[in-house]
Amino acid sequence: MDLIIQAEQDGYDAVVSHCFGSPGIPEGRELVNIPVVGAGEAAFYVAMMCGDRLGVITVGGTYRTPSHGAMMHLVRKMVREYAITDRVVSIRTTGLCVEDCADEEVLFDSLLREAEKSIDDGAEVIILGCTGMINTAEKLQAKLEAPVVDPSVAALKFAELLISMNLTHSKLTLPSPDMIGVKCEMKWPPTMGRWPRGGKE
């Protein structure tokens, strides 16, 4: 949070949380007015424009390992939070830890194997579920003949898009701390001024 605040004070136009899990995104958005973009969030949105059925390949172990599939659990949680459970048909892991991603040959072979399985699961677009999987998306895409989304690039391009459109997160959604306690009138639906099914405000 300190770095996000400092970035705005130093004149940066946007901040990217460079981790697929998009840590600190809602909290950061409460503290600043510049765009705060999560890599995983951006990757999901880009992928949904490329196809209907999505597959995610992440890092970490499975239920057979001591880590007990922590990253796969996080991805499932993200899918529920983004309300796209009907779009994600496959979540797989390379079995590698983040540090292992430094070996590009081992990483690529693992990704290709799991991506092919993900397509067999019904996925039409592959999302790389770790920002450490750099320099692999285009090579995988050539092998698979299916779109492969790199979360690092997706986050950067999303930040650029928001800046170019002069957009940022809504403070009606995530108010700053100094806005807490300020009285505001909210009605549902907004255009009708009443609650659905005859309810009262």
Is residue 91 included in any domain, yes or no?
yes
Domain housing 28: 2-164
Q: Tokens representing 42?
A: 């951006």
CATH of the domain at 64: 3.40.50.12500
CB 106 within 8 A of CB 74: no
Is residue 146 included in any domain, yes or no?
yes
Is residue 21 included in any domain, yes or no?
yes
Per-residue pLDDT of the chain (201 residues; tens, 9 = 90+): 999 999 999 999 999 999 999 999 999 999 999 999 999 999 999 999 999 999 999 998 765 555 557 888 899 999 999 999 999 999 999 988 888 788 889 999 999 999 999 999 999 999 999 999 988 999 999 999 899 999 999 999 999 999 999 999 998 888 887 776 666 665 555 555 555 555 444
pTM, full prediction: 0.84
Specify the pLDDT at position 190: 58
Which distant-in-sequence residues (6+ apart) come within 8 Å of 13 by Cβ? 34, 35, 159, 163
Is residue 58 included in any domain, yes or no?
yes
Specify the pLDDT at position 50: 98
Domain count, the chain: 1
d(CA 94, CA 162): 32
Specify the pLDDT at position 2: 96
Query: Phi first, then psi: what are they for 16, rounded to 5°?
Result: -115, 130
Give 140-178 as a DSSP string: HHHHHTS-EE-HHHHHHHHHHHHHHTT----TTTS--GG
Is residue 73 included in any domain, yes or no?
yes
Is residue 138 included in any domain, yes or no?
yes
